[in-house]
Structure 1
């Protein structure tokens, strides 16, 4: 079977612990945003320092995903998973107790390393414990919990920040983490690949360096300037290191940390690429929708979270229902439906105008929520499902890497696009003519949520008229950006339609799947490597 198992274990406990970890990790991607104003006050931090509160976590999370999955296959998935949980929990404690912004950012980086381990190894543990239809149900729960974390993030963060302290955003992880670690040690079963090859240290260092440069370039591109020497240098260095990594892995063959033969499987390429594209647009759109509720409608973080409940509940239900379908329905059909719903839901954001209330978002929330609910269990199941069980950790790690790089790209790119469209809209108003060369600076303030402060700083007689112009520019920029997000998601859907197919799944991932249509079992491309071995 390619795996070894020890201990008493239990599938239910494994699912519970992996789901708990996923909830905590995804929560930390969204929950911190609402606490940034309080962090600015506590530490008297500038914009760059606050940006690194988000970037440090996202950077190390993306960089160490593949490494974590590869280590888990070689050293034992339970062992590596529990170590990751310890790192994440201790780093959360350090974040909550930080007395300096630099310490907080360093702790966030370490927290991202622990998160990378849990993200990469969790799906591999599930794929080892569950087979066939049971695997589909497990990934359904996994996906539903992940969707809840993303949707509940603003509300939980807002509640903790408003009624306790921003520190509890991090400190809450500690008791949950300690309990999860104890249960994981006692109840999760050990599994690992059968290979005895040594750790690929050269590949580990080179790939980590490449991802570090690539993700940092995307995260800092807007602030530094996309054509600036530092950013171009990062992208160039990442390209060189990725080429070196390819050479190293090809020479090592079976001993490599990344099995390059995975990229000969059309479904793996389709799922990974569409995940990158989808995450870039979907997560970018979610952050902008949160910004709209808080900055255009003036809602608090808690109020914003409450109004996201329609999407939250939709994601949860759709995720729970989708899990079993991953072993029953054509992967092509499921992926295409997922992408189509997300693209349509984002496009429905254009129904709003400067006079709309929050209920104008309901059609978008429900349709997009169904697509997002389908996405998480589908992506996790198919990313791991194309690989042999002994390489589940590695397959999960590289799949999660594509996803996290997509998030980094999307937040940076669509945030910059939104700011550009807001500024352009302001330039065409009387306010823009009055501001002149200061329009860019004013537009950046409006896009970042500081519109009321920027308006208040204007001469008294211009304030009322300026407030209307700012709101119209914000909504207009949001609509323009959402159209682009929708088109990008549609492009990802086309990729899934062309490349995802049932015949590439490993036998351990197959269940009572409905017969595929003639377009699903296309013969173009090589036979699935994982099945042929």
Structure 2
């Protein structure tokens, strides 16, 4: 089979020399993708710390301000599958660039919004931009990196996720206290512009040698189903899990069943979710695992952060610094575990990492008291960081290792959607446990501090249980050997592509 390389620009001058040197260079592509990915994850965490300032600055209610947070996550979760398939249709570079443009313009709109309604609307548009670009990052990584180097690339990709998570509360606190809450959005503008310029300089326009058709019916059903499920889970606690919420969740579940039946009839055409993906055992196991890990991470961070601020009375910035060792260790070990996964496979790294993460959660819960000093948590947060650092890169690598290039967009969309849904389920479940158990402990006559600590002991069961379930699921992973990955030709040159025109 004859392969065509992605088109490179050639012309006079140093600009042309730069483009010839860096165009389609895998590491330059990874830097560009990481900039866009960093922005989208930063905006999931940076806004929380500015809620009081937004309430004062816009005269917003607490409900309106919370929708500034949840509206972004809702749109992102609902559109990821569709955006992944759009990348197959129009090219991942084009969708990545479109996402950057929308996200950057929406960031300007957020930073200049004059009312709560305008800010919520702009955040929803931000979610659209994020949904367009996020699935393309994984698709492009597996397209430009040869098989034996993808683990390293995924490790760096995971490091970027850790950096964004770490930077959100800290950077948000600095911006809010110095230049004002609007800059938590405006800070995205220079990053977005830089990423957009690099996109057209270094990212190849990779198209596979066949035309794709767009499954409009599947998109409509999937969008409605994900909206019902995500909205119901996000807002269930707010509406006290009343009949309306349960009806919405039931409708969402029915739509999921209808979607699967619809997709079953289109497997020989162009389905939105190709069932062929799930014939690969590793992709199926990693799809389950990514949801479990997302649930576990929320299950630890949410109650632990509340404990630090409400029981130990730390500021948001100081609480973020207590959590920082976990992210720092994860960022440090991620590229190394990714490289190790390339050599020995991810199966045992995943099992070890998940076990370490569960151990770290258990230690945190056992040492948490009404007056525990901040430094006592350092060993436990280092253990959780080491654990999650051993999970992120191998999990992404094993999920995408055997996926056909023509299905990469769909696979990335499914993977990222399940990740978001896992986070939403984790937040809803932990939130309900926190609220219910804390009320019961307070009713029993305990002080708030003692009641919250007792509640943490209960909520910790969720992340520990799902993490250990994930470790057991990894027994089903088919491990590979280094010899199986022998692929001396760069991936971008060995896939059936047609140059952009």
Q: TM-score by structure 1 length?
A: 0.84
- Report the CA distance between 1:4 and its aligned residue: 6.4
> Equivalent residue of 1:170, what SS?
helix
Residue equivalent to 2:274: 259
- Inter-partner Cα distance in structure 2 for 1:260 and 1:502: 22
Candidates 467, 473, 481, aligned match of 1:489: 467
State how 1:183-332 maps to structure 2 within 5 Å. Answer: 183-226=198-241, 228-253=242-267, 254-332=269-347
Greater shift in the superposed pair: 153-162 or 375-384: 375-384
Cα-to-partner distance string for 1:293-344 (whole Å, 9 max, x where unaligned) = 2222222222223333322220111212111122112332122122112111
Partner of 2:59: 44
Partners of 2:204 and 2:34 lie apart in 1 by 16
Paired residue secondary structure (1:161): helix
Which SS does the other structure have where 2:265 is aligned?
Answer: helix
* Residue 354 of structure 2 is aligned to residue 353 of structure 1: no
- Alpha-carbon contact 2:98-2:133 (below 8 Å) kept: no
Q: State how far apart, in whole Å, the 1-side matches of 2:442 and 2:114 are.
A: 40
* Contact 1:132–1:509 (Cα < 8 Å) also in 2: no
The 5 A counterparts of 1:416-435 are 416-429=432-445
CA 205–3 in structure 1, closer or farther in 2 if over 3 Å, else same:
farther
The alignment status of 1:501 with 2:478, answered yes or no, reads: yes
1:392 maps to 2:370: no
Asked whether the 8 Å contact 2:299–2:459 carries over to 1, the reply is no
Distance 1:3 1:177 in 2: 30
Alpha-carbon shift at residue 508 of structure 1 (Å):
12
Structure 2: runs of 5 or more not aligned: 9-22, 488-501
Instruction: Please tell me whether residue 470 in structure 1 is matched to residue 448 in structure 2.
Output: yes
Query: C-alpha separation between the residues in 1 aligned to 2:240 and 2:380?
Result: 33
Q: Would you say the 8 A contact 2:354–2:467 is kept in 1?
A: yes
1:10 paired to 2:22: no
2:382 maps to 1:366: yes
Q: Secondary structure at the match of 2:391?
A: helix
Contact preservation (8 Å) 1:332, 1:500: yes
2:354 and 2:470 in contact (8 A); partners too: yes
Deviation at 1:511, TM superposition (A): 5.5
CA distance in 1, matches of 2:125, 2:486: 39
Question: What SS class does the counterpart of residue 255 from structure 1 fall into?
Answer: coil
Is residue 61–residue 113 contact of structure 1 (8 Å, CA) maintained in 2? Answer: yes
1:165 shift after superposition: 0.9
Give yes or no for the alignment of 1:377 onto 2:393.
yes
Q: How many residue pairs get matched?
A: 470
One of 62, 70, 80 as aligned partner of 2:85: 70
Alignment of 1:391-410 (within 5 A): 391-410=407-426
Give the structure, 1 or 2, with the largest relative contact order (CA under 8 Å, sep 6 or more).
2
In structure 2, C-alpha distance between the alignment counterparts of 1:163 and 1:82, rounded to whole Å:
32
Paired with 2:75 and 2:4, the residues of 1 have a C-alpha distance of 29
Give the corresponding residue for 2:13. none
- Measure how far apart 1:3 and its partner are: 8.1
How far did residue 214 of structure 1 move? Answer: 0.8
CA contact (8 A) 2:147 2:401 kept: no
Deviation of 1:409 (Å): 0.8
Distance in 1 separating the partners of 2:206 and 2:56: 47
Classify the secondary structure of the residue corresponding to 2:74. helix
Distance 1:232 1:3 in 2: 52
For 1:256 and 1:122, the matched residues in 2 are separated by 21
Residue 248 to residue 193, structure 1, CA distance change in 2 (3 Å): farther
CA RMSD of aligned residues (A): 2.1
2 CA distance for matches of 1:18 and 1:278? 23
Q: Is the 8 Å Cα contact of residues 43 and 101 (structure 1) preserved in structure 2? A: yes
- 1:142 match: secondary structure: helix
Question: Is residue 164 from structure 1 mapped to residue 164 from structure 2 by the alignment?
Answer: no
Specify whether residues 3 and 429 from structure 1 end up closer, same or farther in structure 2 by C-alpha distance, changes over 3 A only.
farther
Name the counterpart of 2:75: 60
Q: What is the rounded CA distance, in whole Å, between the counterparts of 1:91 and 1:297 in structure 2?
A: 37
Aligned-residue offset at 1:379: 2.4
Counterpart mapping for 1:442-481 below 5 A: 469-481=447-459
Q: Distance in 2 between matches of 1:256 and 1:472?
A: 53
SS at match of 1:231: helix
